[in-house]
Structure 1
Amino acid sequence: MTAIELITTEDLRIFKRELLDEIKRIVQVDGSSSTNKWLKSIEVRKLLKISPGTLQNLRINGTLSFTKVGCIIYYKLDDINKLLEGGLQ
């Protein structure tokens, strides 16, 4: 027989805090390191001077890698710089 564990609301709050901390660590929104800086779609479109459709095509054909957190898509600044230099494949 398997023991039953109850999950309390405090357990869920702790899990939420840990999850948010981990997401922040991965995304590093603060941009403390230029190689790990992540940009949102609108920032990438302004930087590259492209339309939303063009950015979507870059994602679809694999030209520009991305990470999706919830409903927000993030792009590495380093990857964008490589794309601009013609070195990203």
Structure 2
Amino acid sequence: MTAIELITKEDLKQFKSELLTEIKAIVQPGQGQSKQWLKSNEVRKLLNISPGTLQNLRINGTLRYT
């Protein structure tokens, strides 16, 4: 029998906060990146996420297109 784990709104808020912190640390200006813009595949590799996940982050406003 498998245990059921419930995810609360607070869990999701904490995940969102941690994700945004990690994203900001990766793409922060002046951290050795010479490019102003990243391509989708570069963002996916940096964050280790799938194309669908990247699209969902854009749709829900977690990540902006620009």
User: Which TM-score band (shorter chain)?
Assistant: 0.5 to 0.7
- Closer, same or farther: CA 68–11 of 1 in aligned 2, 3 Å: same
One of 23, 40, 47 as aligned partner of 2:37: 40
2:14 is the alignment partner of 1:7: no
- Closer, same or farther: CA 9–36 of 1 in aligned 2, 3 Å: same
Larger Rg: 1
One of 67, 77, 88 as aligned partner of 2:42: 67
Secondary structure in 1 matching 2:36: strand
Structure number with the bigger relative contact order (C-alpha 8 A, sep ≥ 6) is 1
The superposition leaves residues 46-80 of structure 1 with CA deviations (integer Å, 9 ceiling, x where unpaired) of xxxxxxxxxxxxx8xxxxxx72475637xxxxxxx
Percent identical across equivalent pairs?
Answer: 47
Count of residues paired in the alignment: 47
Flag as ranges the 4+ runs of structure 1 deviating above 3 A. Answer: 68-73
**Which structure: greater strand fraction?**
1
Secondary structure in 1 matching 2:18: helix
- Closer, same or farther: CA 25–37 of 1 in aligned 2, 3 Å: farther
| Aligned-pair Cα RMSD in Å | 2.9
